[in-house]
Amino acid sequence: MSKRWFASLFVMVLTLGSATAQSGTELRFCLWSEPKTFNPLLVQDDSSETVRYLTGGVLVRLNRQTQQLEPELATAWKTSRDGRTITFALRQNVKFSDGTAFSAEDVAHTIQQMMDPNLHSPTGDSFRSGEGKVETKVLWADKIAIFFPAPIAGLDKLFDQVAIMSAKSPKKERAVLGPYYVAEYKAGSHLNLERNPNYWKHDSSGHQLPYIDSVRLDIQQNRDIEILRLLRGEIHLVNSLNAEYFDKVIAEKPALVHDAGPSMDSEQIWFNQVASAPLPAYKKAWFGSTNFRRAISESINREDLSRVVFRGHARPATGPVSPGNQFWFNTRLQPHPFDQKAAMKRLEQDGFRVQNGALRDKDGNAVEFSVVTNAGNKYRERMATMIQQDLAGIGIKLHVVTLDFPSLIERIARTFNYEACLLGAVNIGLDPSEQMNIWLSSAENHQWNPGQKAPETAWEAEIDRLMRAQASELNEKKRKEYFDRVQEIAWEQEPFIYLVNRNALSAISTSVQNAHPVVLRPQVFWNIDRLSLGSEVAQK
Partner 1 sequence: MKWVRRAAIIFLLAVALACVFAERLAPADYAHQFRDIPDAPASAAHWLGTDDLGRDRFSRVLHGTRISLLLAPAAALIASFLAAVVGGTAGFVGGALERAVMSGTDLFLSLPWFFLLITVRALMPLNVSPITSVIITFALLGCLGWAAAARVVCADARSLKNSDFALQARASGSSGYRLLRHHLLPNLRPVLYAQFWISIPVFILTEANLGILGLGVSEPLPSWGSLLRELEGYSSVTSNAWQFAPLLLFISVVSCFHLVVLDRELPA
* Footprint on this chain of partner 1 (rule: CB under 8 A): 223-224, 227-228, 242, 244-245, 247-248, 251, 304, 307-309, 368-370, 372, 375-378, 381-382, 384-386, 388-389, 399-404, 407, 417-419
Residue 332 or 399 with smaller CB distance to partner 1: 399
Find the shortest distance in angstroms from Cβ 305 to partner 1.
Answer: 10
CA distance 229 to 250: 15
Residue 338 or 352 with smaller CB distance to partner 1: 338
The amino acid present at 38, given as its one-letter code, is F
Find the shortest distance in angstroms from Cβ 446 to partner 1.
Answer: 22
Identify how many contiguous H helices and E strands the chain contains and give both numbers: 16, 21
Q: Are 93 and 104 in contact (CB under 8 A)?
A: no
Residue 252 or 444 with smaller CB distance to partner 1: 252
Find the shortest distance in angstroms from Cβ 350 to partner 1.
Answer: 21
CA distance 314 to 265: 10
Q: Are 163 and 178 in contact (CB under 8 A)?
A: yes
CA distance 6 to 402: 74
CB count, 10 Å around CB of 7?
10
Distance from chain centroid for Cα 46: 10
Find the shortest distance in angstroms from Cβ 380 to partner 1.
Answer: 9
Contacts of 359 (CB under 8 A, 6+ apart): 347, 352, 353, 366, 367, 394, 395, 396
- DSSP states of 173-187: GGS--SSEEEEEEET
Residue 226 or 460 with smaller CB distance to partner 1: 226
Residue 187 or 251 with smaller CB distance to partner 1: 251
The amino acid present at 390, given as its one-letter code, is D
Q: In this structure, what are the phi and psi dihedrals at residue 56, rounded to the nearest 5 degrees?
A: -80, 140
Find the shortest distance in angstroms from Cβ 251 to partner 1.
Answer: 8
Residue 13 or 228 with smaller CB distance to partner 1: 228
CB count, 10 Å around CB of 169?
18
| β-bridge mates for residue 402, sequence order | 373
Residue 247 or 488 with smaller CB distance to partner 1: 247
Q: How distant, in Å, are the alpha carbons of 129, 348, 386 from that of 357?
A: 54, 15, 19
Find the shortest distance in angstroms from Cβ 142 to partner 1.
Answer: 51
Find the shortest distance in angstroms from Cβ 147 to partner 1.
Answer: 49
Find the shortest distance in angstroms from Cβ 32 to partner 1.
Answer: 14
Find the shortest distance in angstroms from Cβ 501 to partner 1.
Answer: 20
- DSSP states of 253-303: -GGGEEEEEEEEEEEEEEE---TTSSS-HHHHHHHH-HHHHHHHHHTS-HH
Residue 155 or 241 with smaller CB distance to partner 1: 241
Residue 403 or 425 with smaller CB distance to partner 1: 403
